[in-house]
Amino acid sequence: MSQIEQFLPHEGRLVGEDEVSTQDHDYKLLGMHCKSCNAKFFPVNTMCLFCLSESVEKIPLSTEGNLYSYSFIHIAPKQWKVPYGIGYVDLPEGVRIFGKLEDTEPEHWKVDAKVYIEVKECAKIEGQPTQYQYFFKSSKG
């Protein structure tokens, strides 16, 4: 199996090097802060999604938040493992992000429950930028 085949879309949301802080191998998603309107958002962009200002800066996002909404998917392409879960998480910064749930046990997931965001390396190919994936966990660790 080639290195690129190690990542399948249902295993977590894929992001590039410019969307992850890798300081001390403590991976965190990066979002944006608009200096003009003070909005915060994800994913990384060169302009504000709200006021279109180009006066933006990257900020590290929290590694935990509250589950806003979620669902389990039971029908997918045949190479995907089903069921799998997806959801939206509200971060303390006021940013809502979409991603995959780590597991499919319904009792592990409740709206407004605290969840954790895990970011890890994947699909590392020599000579290419490192890719990362993130997903939501119902417990820390």
Q: Smallest Cα–Cα separation from 117: which of 84, 89, 81, 96?
A: 89
What is the model's pLDDT at position 10?
53
What stretches in the chain show pLDDT beneath 70? Answer: 1-12, 123, 140-141
Q: What is the pLDDT of residues 55-64, one digit of tens each?
A: 999 999 999 9
Task: Give the strand pairing for 131-137 and 96-101.
Answer: parallel
What is the model's pLDDT at position 4?
44
| Domains of the chain by residue range | 3-137
Structure pTM? 0.86
What is the model's pLDDT at position 1?
40
Contact between 67 and 110 under an 8 Å Cβ cutoff? The reply is yes
What is the model's pLDDT at position 8?
55
Give the distance, in angstroms, between the CA of residue 5 and the centroid of all CA atoms in the same chain: 20
Residue located via tokens 């200002």: 53
Give the DSSP letter of residue 17.
Answer: G
